[in-house]
Amino acid sequence: MSPLSKPSVLFVCVHNAGRSQMAAAFLTNLSAGQIEVRSAGSQPADTVNPAAVAAMHEVGIDMAGETPKMLTTEAVKESDVVITMGCGDTCPIFPGKRYEDWVLEDPAGQGIEAVRPIRDEIRSRIEALISDLLPATA
């Protein structure tokens, strides 16, 4: 990552329908465009999890227009940070990338009450990631 380029982050989970979508939405919203954001899944679902959409709507973030995307080698190559969320070994590894695995409960098939704590955990991790990637300038 050059000092003039925006850092880029890729969130990966199996279906790209819940955790990775919420993480991408939070990072896009909270970084105010200062970080390039991607999300993908190794086996993308047909639609984003409605409980995840509803949980994000509660905090003022609209994910209704998002669609799950297929994980590609190019997406990994183009990202500085790759954050996996339970996709195991399906994520390609490239030297020079920063990899993190966030262990988060899968919101698939759960109601909004179960999705809220997952959403809140993702938000706190995103806030820490932003402070790490965008150090405060004096």
In this prediction, residue 4 has a pLDDT band, given cuts at 50, 70 and 90, of low
pLDDT at residue 1 in the model? 47
CB burial string 67-88: b at 16+ within 10 A, e below: ebbebeeebbeebbbbbbbbbe
Question: Would the pTM of this model clear 0.75, i.e. be above it?
Answer: yes
Q: Please give the CATH architecture assigned to the domain spanning 8-132.
A: 3-Layer(aba) Sandwich (3.40)
pLDDT at residue 94 in the model? 81
- Residues annotated as catalytic are 13, 87, 91
- Flag whether pLDDT at 51 surpasses 80: yes
Q: How is the chain split into domains, by residue range?
A: 8-132
